[in-house]
Structure 1
């Protein structure tokens, strides 16, 4: 009898302890709360970060965050389920002001990679102890340039030891990017099994070329089922054609395909157009002829650079998005049916656009939308009003999907992290809904705890009766 009662008391104590120690999930932004689409809920879970950019989960389920200009922090959370989480511990992992965006982990989670504008570095990492090695190794170097200084990193899951590095242009229209030898506006892959501690790879002259003529492909992702590499590109600002200003709605932002990281070189290493060719978004362009959304056009028409050469000698995007939305990251669901894209938002447009996270459907390793689609994405998390942007609104950058398939998003302008989760009913649509689903989720958890308590109280009564 004593054992039975003690067991029940212990169980009740466990319920009580979990209830009082659960996350409060009560953070609110200082600006208008972003809206979630039907079938989604969202919650602000971390504040007071310094320009959070790239994010990645370690093998212990904790989050590593690059803070541009300061280094990398480790965040552990009290997890109340769904979107209810609070930061339980914040640890400064690497103090390095040159780190600005890129982050990745080795396949076993024991090596941490991060990048500056010049180089890619690695540290030994212990997820349990939350420590890194005192010294780091330089893996790739020679990437210094102005303007676009992020160096996105992707560690392949299909081809272990292959690290993909993306480098952008040195200006809006970077004429040096016309030359492959410049190393500008390129994505390359490096086999880390062959890198020497005394002789890092030189980006300009080494590595496997996945594509060039890519103005600033900040988001790079590996499709998880068959392993295709995709990137999302920020295209040019302030452009005109034939003396006509067309920059409000052109050129389109791009999603490009770069083949596989295995032995195949099919669909790989091509010139994607920049700085001479760009993707059509709005067809109201002088002398455009029959070109449609996603087709490549030239800013100037001459013997060596014109719409015809752009169409026939450059690789067109797999999908095109509205001009100036600034896609910065792309992450897949583990089953490959959906990808998420963060659109950082415009500065080069009268009416701000972007400032949202959207989803994109995939099937058999490819997007389901046709290449000329103007509605390939579905908005799932967005500001109610972009008129306060970019200074006083949600501005997404890094994405990460955790083991429960919750979507995590960093907002650099506001120093925040959000987490998104699907609700039990509904599917994501482009129509926004107020984020009251978070409160419903909390109520659901209280109800579940109450039900468990009721069951245990019932067990007590049974014990007493016995």
Structure 2
């Protein structure tokens, strides 16, 4: 049963104290000062992490420290910068993950573990939405895309093992036909979150496929036929055996044909989007585990054609993974350094660029990233939504806490952000799967 809460009962304007804002004289946290945990998080805290800040592998022990999920405490609300308000628009959802906004404003939400796509139609002012199941009987659906973008005729859905599409006309809240399989036989064990996005011209469908292991433990040291032959015939950094076609971003025609690899070495690109200002594809990536509390950094990056981002042999540029020491000297110096580095083990899952008119002007063109939160860190980090800062369409490398408060003072977690999207009215929509809720974030000076 999906539970809804009306805006009068649960909408609250967080006129937070100045301590929650980034003060003009408050320094940006850099280097080890940026390696805090949830206790240092609050709206406005800003971090800037550089490749040279990376500690050595095994500087700390590898920890197992799960989220310790609890029910949302009575009255608990996310913390936001002054002037912003958070409204709970739905709760009790099994596993809300990716959220995408249809051109008519409907919210399409992947309820992944329920194997469903749900649709929420918001009333004026964000009142209690109408909710229906658009499609069920899927296989861990995650990514959602509309095609063509301006006047969609199809809703594309990325299952863990396939890409399918449903016929669609503006306003449809239930699929009118059976899913058409466009891409099948996608390997689905281990990392199963498949995201999809279309290029601005609509000619290319991108697909992210995460790795089948932490760091290619089950992959043979060399491919069949020898490494030299593999290097000559495959894209830079391509994996083989059980990891073939994984840790990649792929591309297809809209009908699912002509598949190819765009970029390699992205351990788990769980969220993709196209930057509106430049038309560039972006990924947020979960990096590998078991190298210590602060190694390696997670990241967001523009995805370059033909680029290699390191996994499993290297990370954050030319840092060799000690578990693969000496295996690929041919790749030394060839791994791209990502654009925005974030605290290790934060688990970024989705990204959305802000193009709405509700937030203050300084947010225009920046990106929001949902951090699901750590398990492989002694002191928990993540469990928040952060803002990536851009200037003239380019990332500054800094990121700022935007939506926090999902961890209780005792360290228990009640919220794990997953999906971010910009609604038609300029509100920010956030899903979290700790308590199965959907939130609508607005600014007090704009339309609500």
Q: Which residue of 2 aligns with 1:326?
A: 347
Distance 1:295 1:154, change over 3 A: same
Q: Does 1:269 align with 2:302?
A: no
User: 2: distance between equivalents of 1:127 and 1:229?
Assistant: 26
Q: What does residue range 39-118 of structure 1 map to in structure 2 within 5 Å?
A: 39-70=83-114, 71-80=116-125, 84-87=126-129, 89-106=130-147, 107=149, 108-118=151-161
Q: Does 1:173 align with 2:233?
A: no
* 1:25 Cα offset (Å): 3.8
User: 2: distance between equivalents of 1:237 and 1:180?
Assistant: 19
Given that residues 351 and 387 in structure 1 are in contact (C-alpha distance below 8 angstroms), is that contact kept between their aligned partners in structure 2?
A: no
Query: Per-residue CA shift, 1:230-254, capped at 9, x if unaligned?
Result: 1110011112xxxxxxx11111002
Q: Which residue of 1 aligns with 2:322?
A: 299
Q: What does residue range 399-414 of structure 1 map to in structure 2 within 5 Å?
A: 399-414=420-435
Aligned equivalent of 1:137, options 165, 180, 184: 180
Q: Does 1:249 align with 2:270?
A: no
* 1:133 Cα offset (Å): 2.9
* 1:129 Cα offset (Å): 4.2
Q: Does 1:221 align with 2:273?
A: yes
Number of corresponding residues: 353
* 1:210 Cα offset (Å): 2.1
Query: Per-residue CA shift, 1:361-402, capped at 9, x if unaligned?
Result: 223332023xxxxxx111110126456667x41111011101
* 1:303 Cα offset (Å): 4.0
* 1:406 Cα offset (Å): 0.9
Given that residues 233 and 327 in structure 1 are in contact (C-alpha distance below 8 angstroms), is that contact kept between their aligned partners in structure 2?
A: yes
Aligned equivalent of 2:338, options 308, 317, 339: 317
Query: Per-residue CA shift, 1:285-320, capped at 9, x if unaligned?
Result: xxxxxxxxx7634325844447x954x121111121
Q: Does 1:237 align with 2:289?
A: yes
User: 2: distance between equivalents of 1:343 and 1:422?
Assistant: 21
Unpaired runs of at least 5, structure 2: 12-70, 221-236, 357-363
Given that residues 353 and 386 in structure 1 are in contact (C-alpha distance below 8 angstroms), is that contact kept between their aligned partners in structure 2?
A: no
Distance 1:26 1:295, change over 3 A: farther
Unpaired runs of at least 5, structure 1: 1-21, 240-246, 259-266, 280-293, 370-375, 426-440, 446-466
Q: Name the SS for the 1:368 alignment partner.
A: strand
Q: Name the SS for the 1:26 alignment partner.
A: helix
Q: Does 1:183 align with 2:245?
A: yes
* 1:180 Cα offset (Å): 3.9
User: 1: distance between equivalents of 2:284 and 2:157?
Assistant: 20
What is the RMSD of the two structures over their aligned residues, measured on CA atoms? 2.6
Superposition TM-score, scaled by structure 2 size = 0.73
Q: Name the SS for the 1:69 alignment partner.
A: helix
Structure number with higher helix proportion: 1
Q: Does 1:356 align with 2:339?
A: no
Given that residues 98 and 142 in structure 2 are in contact (C-alpha distance below 8 angstroms), is that contact kept between their aligned partners in structure 1?
A: yes
User: 2: distance between equivalents of 1:103 and 1:321?
Assistant: 25
Q: Which residue of 1 aligns with 2:394?
A: 366
Aligned equivalent of 2:400, options 354, 378, 381: 378
User: 1: distance between equivalents of 2:83 and 2:365?
Assistant: 16
Q: What does residue range 272-291 of structure 1 map to in structure 2 within 5 Å?
A: 272-279=309-316
Q: Name the SS for the 1:37 alignment partner.
A: coil
Distance 1:43 1:380, change over 3 A: same
User: 1: distance between equivalents of 2:370 and 2:181?
Assistant: 29
* 1:209 Cα offset (Å): 2.3
Q: Which has the larger radius of gyration?
A: 1
* 1:331 Cα offset (Å): 0.5
Distance 1:168 1:389, change over 3 A: farther
* 1:352 Cα offset (Å): 1.0
Q: Does 1:163 align with 2:205?
A: yes
User: 1: distance between equivalents of 2:173 and 2:188?
Assistant: 33
Which structure has more RCO (C-alpha within 8 Å, separation ≥ 6)?
2
User: 2: distance between equivalents of 1:385 and 1:110?
Assistant: 41
Q: Name the SS for the 2:379 alignment partner.
A: coil
Q: Which stretch has the larger CA shift, 312-321 or 206-215?
A: 206-215
Given that residues 120 and 141 in structure 1 are in contact (C-alpha distance below 8 angstroms), is that contact kept between their aligned partners in structure 2?
A: yes
Distance 1:299 1:387, change over 3 A: farther
Q: What does residue range 206-217 of structure 1 map to in structure 2 within 5 Å?
A: 206-217=258-269
Q: Does 1:153 align with 2:153?
A: no
Q: Name the SS for the 2:376 alignment partner.
A: coil
Distance 1:43 1:256, change over 3 A: same
